[in-house]
Amino acid sequence: MKILVTGGTGYIGSHTVVELQQNGYEVIIIDNLSNSYLSVVDNIEKITGIKPVFEQIDLRDETKTNEFFKKNQNIAGIIHFAALKSVGESVEKPLDYYQNNILSLINILKGQIEFKINNFVFSSSCTVYGQPDELPVTESAPIKKALSPYGHTKQISEEIIKNTSSNANINGILLRYFNPIGAHESVHIGELPIGTPNNLVPFITQTAIGKREMLKIFGSDYNTPDGTAIRDYIHVTDLAKAHVVAIGRLINKKNREKTEVFNLGTGNGFSVLDVIKSFEKISGLNLNYKFVDRRSGDIERVWADTTFANKELGWIAEKNLDKMMLSAWKWEQALEQVKRNK
């Protein structure tokens, strides 16, 4: 059974391609390589023994996207990861974010309708909730005003998918990821942040390996037990596995609504200091860090209510924080080894 994975050479996409192949699916990747490398395709093959088909297409290009669908019939479902994802960059270049994330989605959905592909899984984000009033946050929590153009593209995308699927023969699953971290246990694939990382965990591992001088902890005066902000970190392989379940659910028509929404997290909240302590424990190192002002646009705390995903999908995130941090650290060390061998 053929699955199209857009953004499949990216961080979460590549881990999902591996899990799909290991579950017997045939995978075609579309990516424009704007934030990933072609070598990921070979690295996926190193893990699974199967080289996924790769098409370098910019999904903003309606003609090329349509030609792809004409050429590739019998696609059973689409998992749409392709998007720009940097919150800070989206504030500087909002139009690039709206153009890339919304246009790509529209072109994919047009292809779905024209070529009668019924099943669609979308990468959404916990960012759609903003700072929730109640924690853990459930899928029915109100969608608050977006804190960034990036977050807004996810809110708009969710609406576009709901509107489209209610009129067309498309069943959709919107997966709201919390904070994905870590890398594949083989260390053949992982996150490849280009330039200075914005996210906490790559910044921690890059500081520990000596690429960065010091981690700045954004805010020590939050209303949390240790004063630092709280998030729900989830291992990328656990996240990837949920996509295999989601696409299978759609293919086997187990979905209850035309568009279903699931939170993907562990259900546990950890503070920035918890994450650092876990890193220090698994690595045996002392991390160089200091406290600075809060980062603008950051929320104080969020973690998922995963009851719906656990019950309906029969899926549960398995890796705890220490395992996630060990995986992230092994990945950083593997990247350093590759650099030394060059």
Q: Which residues bind ligand WQD (CB under 6 A)?
A: 85, 87, 125, 127, 179, 198-200, 203, 215-218, 229, 231, 272, 295, 298
DSSP string, 27-54: EEEEE--SSS-THHHHHHHHHHS-PPEE
CB of 342 to ligand WQD, least distance (A): 27
Query: Is 25 an annotated catalytic residue?
Result: no
When binding is defined by CB under 6 A, the residue of 77, 130, 180, 269 that contacts ligand NAD is: 180
Instruction: State which residue, 155 or 171, has the beta carbon closest to ligand WQD.
Output: 155
Nearest one of 97, 131, 95, 83 to 294, comparing CA atoms: 131
Distances (CA, A) of 111 to 66, 82, 118, 120, 166: 6, 15, 11, 11, 16
97 binds, among ligand WQD, ligand NAD, none (CB under 5 to 8 A by kind): none
Which range touches ligand NAD (CB under 6 A), out of 32-40, 112-120, 161-169, 315-323? 32-40
Q: Which of residues 101-130 bind ligand NAD (CB under 6 A)?
A: 104, 123, 125
**16 makes contact with ligand NAD (CB under 6 A):** no
Cα(58)–Cα(63) distance, integer angstroms:
10
Residues 144, 130 contacting (CB under 8 angstroms): yes
**9 makes contact with ligand NAD (CB under 6 A):** yes
When binding is defined by CB under 6 A, the residue of 3, 13, 69, 260 that contacts ligand NAD is: 13
Choose the catalytic residue: 11, 25, 97, 150: 150
- How many residues bind to ligand NAD according to rule CB under 6 A? 28
Cα(2)–Cα(76) distance, integer angstroms:
6
The full length of the chain comes to: 342
Cα(58)–Cα(82) distance, integer angstroms:
9
Q: 250: part of which helix (H) or strand (E)?
A: helix 236-251
Instruction: State which residue, 34 or 73, has the beta carbon closest to ligand NAD.
Output: 34
Residues 237, 188 contacting (CB under 8 angstroms): no
Which of the 8 DSSP states describes residue 197? -
Both tokens assigned to 316 = 């549960």
When binding is defined by CB under 6 A, the residue of 3, 4, 5, 12 that contacts ligand NAD is: 12
141 binds, among ligand WQD, ligand NAD, none (CB under 5 to 8 A by kind): none
CB of 35 to ligand NAD, least distance (A): 4
67 binds, among ligand NAD, ligand WQD, none (CB under 5 to 8 A by kind): none
Question: Would you call 58 exposed, middle or buried from its count of C-beta atoms within 10 A (0-12, 13-18, 19+)?
Answer: middle
**The amino acid at 34:** S
Cα(234)–Cα(137) distance, integer angstroms:
15
**11 makes contact with ligand NAD (CB under 6 A):** yes
Query: Which residues are catalytic, by number?
Result: 150
Contacts with ligand NAD by CB under 6 A lie at: 7, 9-13, 30-36, 58-60, 81-85, 100, 104, 123, 125, 177, 179-180
